[in-house]
Amino acid sequence: MSGHSKWANIKHKKTKEDARRGQVFTKLSRQITVAARNGGGDPEANFQLRLAIDKAKDANMPNESIDRAIRRGTGELGGEAYEQFTYEGYAPGGVAVLVDIMTDNRNRAAGDVRYLFSRHDGSLGEAGSVAWMFDVRGLVEVDRAGAPGLDEVMLLAADAGAEDVEEAEDRFVILTSPQELDAVRRALEDQGLRIRSAELTYRPRTTVELDEAGTRKVLKLIDALEENDDVQQVYTNLEIPDEILEKLEA
């Protein structure tokens, strides 16, 4: 996994998740609403909606909240109209940053994101300035507990149409083309593997390593962005070496 992904797993421990549960539900609700608006309210016929619902259930979002978000998206309930777009920029040390936005007020979101970049010694870029450094990939995380060994998981993933498998401490990370994400997820489930998550993500083509001080600066920017309600996801090409990661965990 990339350095930022490892850091996300560290900081999203249960105590912090509980403290921010309301904010998490707000973001997940927006994802469901937009997915239902764009592709309809049937998760079996709307892949993006199914992914959004799966993420919401993983976060223990109540079923009534999920249903309300779907109905807002299909027009059965009134609500805000959300836009989805991406900002691009640079964190300290030249680290590339993509910020996935979902908002009912573009001007507010633009002002907030610009302020956060400036406050943390970063800078916003023009459209296309850093997006070329990333590829869109499907990502399926499989729980390592109860799963077979790496070699067998690689064979199962390859048979399902996956492109690559990465090994992490407590899970396997399977990469797919965006088009094959749902098919791979379903095939692995059919093989009895426990799926932790399945989503589209941006993977950096090359990564950047900084010293501890520089890494901490970048992570402060990432944290500040992720705490904004309009920000859905933050992707970077920051790679954190294990020795620095251990200091950050301490």
Check pLDDT > 90 for residue 9. Answer: no
- Alpha-helix runs per DSSP H in the chain: 3-11, 14-19, 21-39, 47-58, 63-74, 106-119, 150-160, 181-190, 212-226, 242-249
CATH number of 134-204: 3.30.70.980
- What value does the mean pLDDT take over residues 118-122? 96
d(CA 102, CA 28): 10
Cα 168 to Cα 174, 203, 233: the distances in Å are 11, 16, 21
**CATH 3.30.1280.10 for domain 83-132+207-249:** no
| Whole-angstrom distance, CA of residue 84 vs CA of residue 101 | 6
Delimit the CATH 1.10.10.200 region(s) of the chain: 3-74
Q: Is residue 22 very low, low, confident or very high in pLDDT (cuts 50, 70, 90)?
A: low
Asked if residue 6 has pLDDT above 50, the reply is no
- Residue whose structure tokens are 């390592």: 144
Provide the 3-class DSSP secondary structure of residue 162.
coil
Tell me the average pLDDT across 150-175: 90
Global pTM?
Answer: 0.80
Share of the chain above pLDDT 90, in %: 52
List where CATH 3.30.70.980 sits in the chain.
Answer: 83-132+207-249, 134-204
CA distances from 93 to 70, 100, 208, 219, 248 (A): 41, 21, 9, 12, 18
At 205-235, the pLDDT tens digits run 999 999 999 999 999 999 999 889 899 889 9
Residue pLDDT, tens place only, 97-107: 999 999 989 99
Specify the CATH architecture of the domain 3-74: Orthogonal Bundle (1.10)
142 CB-contact burial (10 Å; exposed 0-12 / middle 13-18 / buried 19+): buried
Residue 13 has pLDDT above 50, yes or no: no
Summarize the confidence of residues 87-95 as an average pLDDT.
Answer: 96
For residues 187 and 194, the answer to whether their CB atoms sit within 8 Å is no
Interval 70-86: pLDDT, tens = 999 888 887 777 888 99
